[in-house]
């Protein structure tokens, strides 16, 4: 039904082939909606985790009057949040499956190299910062996976419609949960009469590991789909090798450089700088071995990354401040722990 109406749109007469979408516009819009809902769920869960961490840190160190959760004031779903959601949906709908696959593979390389180089003390907080930086990459991962899994389906739009409805429901429930916790967690956790808040008080530490496992599954499926989608655009193995070799070498070097810069200049501004550097490198690569449509879609990726990271700068700053405080606390407690460890070893 949708293919009949979209076939009547004379895009081929007015627009060149590299400006048209690679799939049905309705399917692209539904995939973008699902990706935006996934990003919304991720942001809500990270805000919830940071809030619980701040409450736990304040209770353990008795500094509730000195610290103010900076990200709490930004957790709203007003007009700005709705405009951001629409912008992310439109960006993910326009970005083609080929560039979305490249974004997914780039994030996988960055995540693996970052986890390999992060120290044992900062490993937990690096994962938290990595999740914050993976928002647009998660949207591309969901879009790429759906494009791969539903490719060739007879009723593709119906499957995507059901997935979009489920994604919208999950995003809405996650937003309501976040608002409930931010407003009533202190009261309910102290009075012990709310099941949601009591459950988070008892098992809130398992929120981040569960989120990490979910992201691992999502990007594992997306990586397989990305390799398959990109290889469909090559006619021979030699042509694919000419594409993958510079991509792997350039991005490995670029990722190492960006991580060193981010360690030297921590902060949300450094994260935005790394986005410009890595997408700029990807654009140079596409100008060499890609197509004009890929260059246009990478320009759209700049807009998508900005629309995801700029509204969540407070989350990045909160994560970095927590990392500095916990690292300082760890370094202060370490000399006190050494005599106890030495005594235990001496007794053994």
Query: Do the domain assignments include residue 2?
Result: no
Please tell me the total count of domains within the chain: 1
Listed in sequence order, the DSSP H helices in 95-134 are: 97-117, 123-133
pLDDT digits (tens, 9 = 90+) for 278-315: 777 777 777 776 677 788 888 888 888 888 888 887 77
Burial class of 342 by CB neighbour count within 10 A (0 to 12, 13 to 18, 19+): exposed
Distances (CA, A) of 305 to 82, 84, 96, 136, 204: 16, 11, 15, 6, 29
Looking at residue 31, its pLDDT comes to 92
CA–CA gap between residue 183 and residue 220 (Å, rounded): 36
Please name which of 82, 98, 110 lies closest in space to residue 301, comparing C-alpha atoms.
98
Query: Do the domain assignments include residue 298?
Result: yes
Query: Do the domain assignments include residue 239?
Result: yes
Q: What is the DSSP string of 212-261?
A: HHHHHHHHHHHHHHHHHHHHTT-SSHHHHHHHHHHHHHHHHHHHHHHHHH
The more confidently predicted of residues 123 and 40 is 40
Q: Is the pLDDT of residue 141 over 90?
A: yes
Looking at residue 65, its pLDDT comes to 43
Query: Do the domain assignments include residue 176?
Result: yes
Query: Do the domain assignments include residue 195?
Result: yes
Query: Do the domain assignments include residue 31?
Result: yes
For residue 96, name the pLDDT band (cuts at 50, 70, 90): confident
Distances (CA, A) of 131 to 37, 219, 227, 244, 270: 15, 12, 22, 26, 16
pTM score of the predicted model: 0.81
Please name which of 317, 305, 340 lies closest in space to residue 84, comparing C-alpha atoms.
305
For residue 206, name the pLDDT band (cuts at 50, 70, 90): confident
Query: Do the domain assignments include residue 337?
Result: no
What average pLDDT does the segment 157-186 reach?
91
Query: Do the domain assignments include residue 10?
Result: no
pLDDT digits (tens, 9 = 90+) for 257-273: 666 666 665 556 667 77
Per the structure, the complete domain to which residue 289 belongs is given by: 22-61+69-327
CA–CA gap between residue 47 and residue 43 (Å, rounded): 6
């Amino acid at each position: 039904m949708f293919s009949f109406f979209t076939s009547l749109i004379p895009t081929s007469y007015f627009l060149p082939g590299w400006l048209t979408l690679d799939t049905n516009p309705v399917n692209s819009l539904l995939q973008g909606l699902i990706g935006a809902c996934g990003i919304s769920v991720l942001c809500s869960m990270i805000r919830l985790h940071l809030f619980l961490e701040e409450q736990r840190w304040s209770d353990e160190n008795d500094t509730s009057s000195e610290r103010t959760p900076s990200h709490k004031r930004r957790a709203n779903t007003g007009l700005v949040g709705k405009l951001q959601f629409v912008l992310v949906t439109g960006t993910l709908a326009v970005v083609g499956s080929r560039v979305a696959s490249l974004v997914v593979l780039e994030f996988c390389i960055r995540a693996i190299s970052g986890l390999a180089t992060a120290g044992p003390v900062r490993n937990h907080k690096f994962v938290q910062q990595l999740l914050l930086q993976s928002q647009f990459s998660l949207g591309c991962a969901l879009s790429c996976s759906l494009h791969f899994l539903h490719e060739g389906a007879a009723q593709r739009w119906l499957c995507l419609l059901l997935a979009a409805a489920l994604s919208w429901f999950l995003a809405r429930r996650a937003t309501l949960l976040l608002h409930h916790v931010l407003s009533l967690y202190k009261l309910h956790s102290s009075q012990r009469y709310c099941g949601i808040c009591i459950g988070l008080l008892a098992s809130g530490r398992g929120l981040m590991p569960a989120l990490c496992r979910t992201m691992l599954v999502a990007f594992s499926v997306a990586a397989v789909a990305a390799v398959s989608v990109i290889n469909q655009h090559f006619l021979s193995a030699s042509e694919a090798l000419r594409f993958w070799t510079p991509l792997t070498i350039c991005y490995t070097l670029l990722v190492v450089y960006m991580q060193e810069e981010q360690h030297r200049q921590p902060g949300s501004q450094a994260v935005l700088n790394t986005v410009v550097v890595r997408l700029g490198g990807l654009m140079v690569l596409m100008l060499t071995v890609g197509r004009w449509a890929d260059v246009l879609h990478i320009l759209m990726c700049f807009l998508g990354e900005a629309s995801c990271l700029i509204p969540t700068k407070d989350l990045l700053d909160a994560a970095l401040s927590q990392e500095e405080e916990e690292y300082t606390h760890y370094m202060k407690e370490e000399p006190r722990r050494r005599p106890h460890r030495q005594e235990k070893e001496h007794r053994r």
